[in-house]
Amino acid sequence: MAFLVVALVLVAALCVFQLVLVLAVLRRLREHETRFEQLARSRGPMDAYDPNELVGRRIPELAAHTGGEPRTVGFFSVGCEACHEQAPEFVAAAGVGDASAIVVGAPADELTGLLGGVPVVVTGEEADGLMRAVDVKAFPTFLRVDGDGVIVRAGIAVADLPAATPAL
C-alpha cells in the first residue's frame, strides 16, 4: 500500500510540474506575440519598400520591352495573393496596347490567364532578369515608363498610377 501512495504522490508532482511548465511557456508565447505585433505595427513589410525610389531611373531593359513608347508595367509574382487580386484591375486600367506584365515564378499559367488582356506578358528567366534590373523588392509593383525606359511613376497598387494617356 505504501508503494501505491508513493507512486500517486510522484504522479501528482509530475502533473503539477508539467502544469507549471505549460503555463510558463504560454506566458512566454504571449510576450513574443506582443513583441511581434509591436514590430509589425512599427515597421510593416511594405514600409521598408518604397517603389517611388525607382522614379527617375532609366532601365534600358524596360525600354526594349515597351518598344520605345510610354507604357504601364506591372510586376507580378506567382505566389503573391495581392498580385492575383490586382491583375484584373491592372488589365482594365492599363489601356489597350499600353501595358506590359512581368510574371515572376513558375508555373505562371493561372496568373497569365488573369492578365490575358495585356498585350505583352513576360515570364521565365527573362522576367527574373527584368525584376533584378529594375530592382523590384515587393509584389505587385506597378510602374509608368516613358519611351526611353525612364520610370516616371511607381506604386504598389494600380490606383497609384495615373490612367494611361497618350501624352506621356
Q: Which residues of 73-83 are buried (b: 16+ CB within 10 A; e: fewer)?
A: bbbbbbebeeb
State the Cα–Cα distance between residues 25 and 44, nearest whole angstrom.
Answer: 27
Q: pLDDT tens digits, residue range 79-127?
A: 888 888 888 888 887 765 678 888 887 776 777 788 877 776 777 777 7
**74, 155, 72, 76: which is closest to 111 by C-alpha?**
76
Whole-number pLDDT of residue 168? 36
DSSP state of 143: E
Whole-number pLDDT of residue 44? 47
State the Cα–Cα distance between residues 43 and 77, nearest whole angstrom.
Answer: 23
Q: pLDDT tens digits, residue range 33-81?
A: 887 776 665 544 545 667 778 888 887 776 666 666 778 888 888 888 8
Q: pLDDT tens digits, residue range 10-34?
A: 999 999 999 999 999 999 988 888 8
